[in-house]
């Protein structure tokens, strides 16, 4: 799919993939709007780190300014200096995993140990401020559409007429981001495409993992604005799993 701007975290975790079937109560809830952070380079020193399930929470110092941030799990050394660009600030963020409320926390896609962004680690520009990262470039074998459902090719080709309508789609999970904006974000592919769109983003309360073959029923929404500049060309909203 074609959404046009970089993620953050939580993103753009946001934030990276949180894989695995976990109890919904283990994920965190956001109770207030997000605030954008400029995309200037941030240089931080890690003062403390806490494992938060799919995230690692960092207490950092940036030019004398102390704050908390969260990124997808990656090796982090306390005392080391790291760099990141962009990010989103979330206020009154409740981490159920930590049983803690952060007055404000910055979510970033990742941090790095050099100022320069490596070509392989560049932020995705395929999203309009989506609260998750771009799905990986994978080749998915053709998956037969569900009974009474639509292939992703049909969804993308006929999205104008499907807007605000309930549809059923079946595909392989290629990306998962859980507990972002009180939703789980799932990318699926079924081996079909239209105009280079092959990846459908789904918001749900269901728990799935990468590699699962799933069937979802939800409502197609076009040009969905989740606030804070997060806009999707197309998304399947509030989807439920069909057995």
Distances (CA, A) of 203 to 62, 96, 148, 175, 184: 34, 20, 21, 12, 6
Specify the CATH class of 152-241 in words. Answer: mainly beta
Name the range with the highest mean pLDDT among 43-52, 162-171, 176-185, 187-196. Answer: 162-171
Q: How many helices (H) and strands (E) does the chain have?
A: 2, 13
Q: Which of 117, 184, 171 is nearest to 145 (CA)?
A: 171
What whole-number distance in Å separates Cα of residue 85 and Cα of residue 109? 9
CA distance from start to end of the chain: 26
* Model pLDDT, residue 122: 35
Cα–Cα dist 188/198, whole Å: 8
pLDDT at position 40: 77
What global pTM score does this model have?
Answer: 0.51
Average pLDDT over residues 25-29: 40
Q: In the CATH hierarchy, which fold is given to the domain comprising 24-121?
A: OB fold (Dihydrolipoamide Acetyltransferase, E2P) (2.40.50)
d(CA 179, CA 30): 8
24-121 and 152-241: identical CATH topology: yes
Picking from 2, 69, 21, the residue whose alpha carbon sits closest to that of residue 241 is 21
pLDDT, tens only, 127-168: 343 444 444 445 568 999 999 999 999 999 999 999 999 999
**What are the backbone angles phi and psi of residue 151, rounded to the nearest 5°?**
-75, 160
Domain boundaries, the chain: 24-121, 152-241
User: pLDDT value at position 16?
Assistant: 38
Query: Distance between CA atoms of 153 and 160, rounded to whole angstroms?
Result: 13
């Amino acid at each position: 799919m074609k959404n046009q701007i970089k993620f953050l975290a939580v993103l753009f975790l946001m934030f990276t993939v949180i894989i695995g079937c976990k109890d919904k109560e283990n994920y965190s809830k956001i109770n207030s709007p997000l605030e954008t952070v400029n995309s200037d380079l941030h240089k931080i020193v890690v003062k403390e780190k806490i494992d938060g399930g799919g995230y690692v929470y960092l207490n950092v110092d940036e030019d004398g300014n102390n704050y908390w941030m969260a990124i997808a799990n990656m090796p982090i050394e306390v005392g080391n200096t790291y760099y990141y660009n962009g990010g989103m600030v979330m206020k009154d963020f409740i981490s159920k995993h930590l049983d803690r409320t952060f007055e404000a926390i910055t979510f970033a896609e990742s941090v790095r140990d050099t100022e320069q962004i490596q070509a392989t680690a560049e932020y995705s520009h395929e999203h309009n401020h989506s609260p998750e990262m771009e799905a990986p470039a994978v080749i998915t074998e053709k998956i037969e559409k569900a009974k009474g459902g639509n292939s992703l090719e049909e969804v993308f080709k006929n999205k104008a007429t499907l807007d605000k309508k309930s549809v059923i789609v079946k595909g392989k999970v290629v990306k998962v981001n859980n507990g972002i904006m009180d939703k789980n974000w799932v990318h699926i592919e079924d081996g079909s495409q239209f105009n280079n769109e092959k990846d459908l983003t789904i918001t749900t309360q269901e728990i799935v993992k990468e590699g699962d073959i799933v069937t979802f029923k939800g409502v197609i929404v076009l040009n969905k604005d989740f606030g804070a500049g997060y806009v999707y060309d197309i998304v399947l909203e509030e989807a439920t799993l069909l057995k």
